[in-house]
């Protein structure tokens, strides 16, 4: 039977976790997925906030376990986060992210939460998990270059005359379909993991597994391209806007799967003490993301869509495709990643493909954003480390 003291400390940590989930929903998860679509006038700000809340919730439940377990157990070696450490870390991180939400500058949530967990772990006497830090650093450093480069090339392809725009869009739809066939969902896999649509279908057919996976992937890719081709009967511009909205939905779903771990990950080591499964934690975190998106996402949606770049449908599509791919890579390997960093980098890449210097991208705004990303990580480590030591000192 769980004692009252344990329940009480977990309840306090859960409140801090929900606050963190709210700030994520109101900030990075709630703003970035549909920001390019809003910038392209494909959807209104209010509708974007409503849809992104629902999709983030679904992503959290079906894809959130990987990053949650990594944040809760892989960032520090030698110690397990206590309820007090989790509460202090989550509260400090949430306050920092909330400052970004209300000032209009996107604080990198993954940087902040990762720094807070590391700072709390160090204060408890834990050792650095260098192997995990190398994975995280590689993805964080490569994201701006890879995401920006893919977005740039895609946007250029959509602008060049030798290849008709409609054919390029159909190819892009096929690529997205292939990615969709191979991302993992918790409901398709074993209790301790997930599986993709391609793998699940291939297991049910009498053929070589690798051949079956490739075949299923091709079928889904062709089906997605075919569906968009049918939509083009109403005009290429109309089909592009529909494609853009679908991409926004996929990115929002991916945001829930990645970002919920930043809110509930620190609670994972505590869940066994109160008899909760990780699914229960993901449901709670998903609700927090949904509430945050519905109540506070519109400000950041406006900041990303209008302040960073004057986007059209083609540049928005170019920004969302690498965002979706990078987010799914992060989920697959259990790496916390900031959606602000992913989407903003892609927006810059697609922006520089446009005519004119910088494609409408604000260099000054980008400079402040990069500075905020760096300070998010360093500041969260230092403040949480000092905060936890001060808390333990006050308790004697």
List pLDDT tens digits, range 309-359. 456 777 888 888 999 999 999 998 999 988 777 877 887 787 776 654 445
Q: Is residue 209 assigned to a domain?
A: no
Nearest one of 144, 133, 2, 135 to 76, comparing CA atoms = 133
Return the higher-pLDDT residue of 328 and 188.
328
Burial 123-135 (b: 16+ CB within 10 A, else e): bbebeebeebeeb
Residue 351, domain member (yes or no): yes
**Structure pTM?**
0.87
Secondary structure (DSSP) of 248-313 = HHHHHHHHHHHHHHHHHGGGHHHHHHHT--HHHHHHHHHHHHHHHHHHHHHHHHHIIIIIS----H
Domain count, the chain: 1
Mean pLDDT, the chain, rounded, equals 83
- Domain membership flag for residue 168: no
> How many residues does the structure list for the chain?
396
- Cβ(239)–Cβ(230) below 8 Å: no
Q: How far apart are CA 385 and CA 174, in angstroms?
A: 47
* Furthest CA-CA distance within the chain: 73
- Please tell me the predicted confidence (pLDDT) of residue 177: 94
- Could you tell me the pLDDT band of residue 308, with boundaries at 50, 70 and 90? very low
Q: Is residue 236 part of a domain?
A: no
Token pair 């690529």 is found at: 175
Mean pLDDT of 114-124: 92
Query: Rounded CA gap, 13 and 7, in Å?
Result: 10
Query: Could you tell me which of 169, 159, 151, 160 has the C-alpha nearest to residue 319?
Result: 151
SS3 101: helix
How far is residue 314's CA from residue 174's CA, in Å, rounded to a whole number?
16
Nearest to 55 by CA among 262, 339, 224, 248: 248
Q: Which domain, by its residues, includes 355?
A: 4-160+257-394
What CA–CA distances, in Å, run from 347 to 179, 304, 306, 312, 342? 20, 9, 11, 11, 9
Q: 96-105, 106-115, 300-309 — which one is most confidently predicted on average? A: 106-115
Is residue 322 in a domain? yes
Residue 217 forms part of a structural domain: no
pLDDT in tens, 42-84: 788 888 888 889 999 999 999 999 999 999 889 999 888 888 8
- pLDDT beyond 80 at 217: yes
199 occurs within a structural domain: no
Beta-bridge partners for 160: none
pLDDT at residue 291, as a whole number: 92
Model pLDDT, residue 374: 80
Separation between Cα atoms, residue 24 and residue 28, nearest integer Å: 6
The answer to whether the CB of 92 falls within 8 A of the CB of 116 is yes
Task: Give a yes or no: residue 221 inside a domain.
Answer: no
Which residues does 101 contact at the CB level (< 8 Å), separation at least 6?
A: 23, 26, 27, 107, 296, 299, 300
């Amino acid at each position: 039977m769980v004692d009252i003291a344990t329940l009480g400390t977990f309840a306090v940590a859960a409140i801090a976790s929900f606050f963190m989930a709210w700030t994520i929903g109101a900030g990075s998860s709630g703003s970035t997925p549909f920001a390019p679509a809003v910038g392209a006038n494909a959807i209104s700000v209010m509708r974007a906030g409503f849809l992104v809340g629902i999709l983030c919730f679904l992503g959290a439940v079906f894809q959130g376990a990987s990053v949650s377990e990594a944040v809760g157990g892989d960032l520090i070696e030698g110690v397990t986060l206590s309820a007090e450490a989790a509460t202090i870390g989550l509260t400090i991180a949430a306050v920092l992210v909330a400052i970004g939400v209300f000032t209009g500058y996107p604080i990198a949530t993954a940087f902040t939460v990762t720094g807070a967990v590391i700072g709390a772990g160090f204060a408890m006497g834990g050792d650095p998990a260098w192997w995990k830090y190398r994975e995280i650093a590689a993805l964080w450093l490569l994201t701006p270059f890879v995401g920006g480069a893919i977005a740039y090339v895609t946007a250029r392809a959509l602008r060049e005359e030798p290849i008709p725009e409609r054919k390029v869009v159909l190819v892009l739809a096929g690529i997205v379909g292939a990615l969709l066939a191979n991302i993992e969902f918790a409901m398709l896999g074993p209790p301790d993991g997930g599986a993709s649509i391609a793998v699940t279908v291939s297991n049910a057919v009498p053929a070589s597994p690798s051949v079956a996976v490739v075949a299923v992937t091709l079928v889904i890719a062709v089906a997605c391209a075919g569906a968009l081709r049918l939509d083009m009967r109403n005009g290429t511009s109309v089909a592009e806007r529909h494609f853009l909205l679908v991409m926004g939905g996929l990115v929002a779903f991916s945001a829930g799967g990645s970002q919920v771990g930043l809110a509930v990950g620190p609670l994972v080591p505590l869940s066994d003490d109160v008899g909760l499964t990780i699914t229960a934690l993901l449901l709670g975190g998903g609700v927090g993301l949904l509430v945050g998106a519905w109540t506070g996402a519109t400000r950041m949606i406006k900041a990303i869509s209008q302040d960073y770049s004057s986007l059209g449908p083609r540049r928005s599509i170019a920004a969302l495709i690498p965002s979706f791919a990078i987010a799914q890579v992060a989920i697959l390997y259990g790496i916390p990643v900031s959606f602000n960093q992913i989407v903003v980098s892609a927006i810059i890449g697609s922006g520089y493909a446009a005519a004119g210097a910088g494609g409408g991208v604000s260099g000054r705004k980008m400079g402040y954003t990069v500075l905020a990303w760096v300070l998010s990580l360093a500041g969260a480590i230092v403040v949480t480390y000092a905060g936890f030591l001060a808390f333990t000192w006050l308790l004697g």
